[in-house]
Amino acid sequence: MKKPVQVLSPEFKKKVLNYFEKGHTAKEISLELNSEYRKETGKDLTRNACIGIKFRSGKCQAMSRLDKSAHDEPPEGFKRKVCLKCLHEKWIEDYNRICFECKQTVDWKAGATVEHGVTSLGRNTSRYV
Ligand SMILES: [Zn+2]
């Protein structure tokens, strides 16, 4: 079985950015590209995902400027929060507790998987019997 692709292709990101450039809203883009996104990731393309792609494409300069100043206008759908992994204050999507950089790292994904495995094993071995 083929696993769903976790990282979006540059082509797809480019497509999202093109829509933004044409003046479409994140909501419109998410509806337009949802079926394609599902094929790539197995998940639904949310409005916030579109905003995230746009925001991250703002290049590192814009990013570091935002990170330094908490008074800048927040990107739509993002809030100023302390990331639970790297403990830096960053712009993080409303529903997330972890910054995008941390979410993208392989370490984080591996860690989450291992943690889950340990939990299930712990239950199965029933140490308390
Ligand atoms: Zn982080």
Q: What is the pLDDT along the chain (129 residues), one digit of tens a residue?
A: 555 445 678 889 999 999 998 988 899 999 999 999 998 888 899 998 888 888 888 643 444 444 555 555 667 788 889 999 899 998 888 888 988 888 877 555 555 444 444 443 444 433 443
CB 5 within 8 Å of CB 41: yes
Domains: count for the chain: 2
| Residues measured by CB to lie within 5 Å of ligand 1, the ion | 83, 85-86, 99, 102
* Ligand 1 center to 82 CA (angstroms): 8
Instruction: Tell me the sheet residues that pair with 93.
Output: 78
Predicted TM-score (pTM) of the model is 0.41
Residue range(s) defining the domain that contains residue 43 = 1-57
Residue 84 CA: distances (Å) to CA of 10, 48, 64, 100: 27, 20, 19, 11
* Residues 51 and 3 grouped into a single domain: yes
CB 107 within 8 Å of CB 96: no
* Residues 41 and 65 grouped into a single domain: no
* Ligand 1 center to 99 CA (angstroms): 4
Assigned token pair, 29: 């883009």
* Residues 32 and 64 grouped into a single domain: no
* Ligand 1 center to 47 CA (angstroms): 21
